[in-house]
Amino acid sequence: MALTPAQLTTWKTDIASNANETPQYPGVAISALSLTNSDHADAIAKWYSLQASPDYFVWRDVPMATVLNTITFANMTPLDAIPLVTALGSNPSVAANATFNNQMATVHQWNGRSLSCQGKQFNLQNLTIGRDTAPMKNITYRAALQDCLTNIPAGASGALLSANWVGVRDGAKFLANRIEELLATGAGTTATPSDLGYEGSVTYQDLQA
């Protein structure tokens, strides 16, 4: 992934005010190093390729296998057994009719919850089948996946469950390096990771560009 002209300008501006030191040139501020000197440029690029400190979190894409291995699929199907209905005879009593009506109401409720679970399952299939990678950097994809994996009416009596969205979400949070932090957008916290504008490390050739 190449830096855009605008990102190169942002980086250059940051370097010009960077008072930190590199391991290669202790006692010398980064802003005092020469961008045209290949050794200086290499030291600067290596500094910006180190992990940000303090920690700065960003969203990254992850292997689809990681997502699938994290999902609690058992929470996507109704926990309650399919309700049974007692057949009415040819001349049912009032009590039998009442029991039958109550049982049918329970069946309708179970069917409704089951259909809601199936809708979550179908959407999950659309988001996962045929993909090797889960594009968790994409906010729309994250929102859709969250919808599939939360508020599933599969618990006892239709209690809402999660299929471990939190685990899937947290598996897509990563620590950024310094150049990624500089060019990212967002808070960069574990609660609100940032969206990457650039992903990867940088070299002295990038800097000299």
- State mean pLDDT over 107-123: 94
Q: Percentage of the chain with pLDDT > 70?
A: 100
pLDDT band at 202 (very low <50, low <70, confident <90, very high): very high
HEC readout, the chain: CCCCHHHHHHHHHHHHCCCCEECCEEEEEHHHCCCCCHHHHHHHHHHHCCECCCCCEEECCEEHHHHHHHCCHHHHCCCCCCCCCCCCCCCCCHHHHHHHHHHHHHHHHHHHHHHHHHHHHHHHHHHHCCCCEECCCCHHHHHHHHHHHCCECCCHHHCCECCCHHHHHHCCEEECEHHHHHHCECCCCCCCCEECCCCCCCCHHHHHC
Q: What is the pLDDT of residues 144-170, one digit of tens each?
A: 999 999 999 999 999 999 999 999 999
Q: Percentage of the chain with pLDDT > 90?
A: 82
- State mean pLDDT over 176-180: 98
Nearest to 171 by CA among 149, 198, 155: 149
Quickly count: other Cβ atoms within 10 Å of residue 70's Cβ. Answer: 19
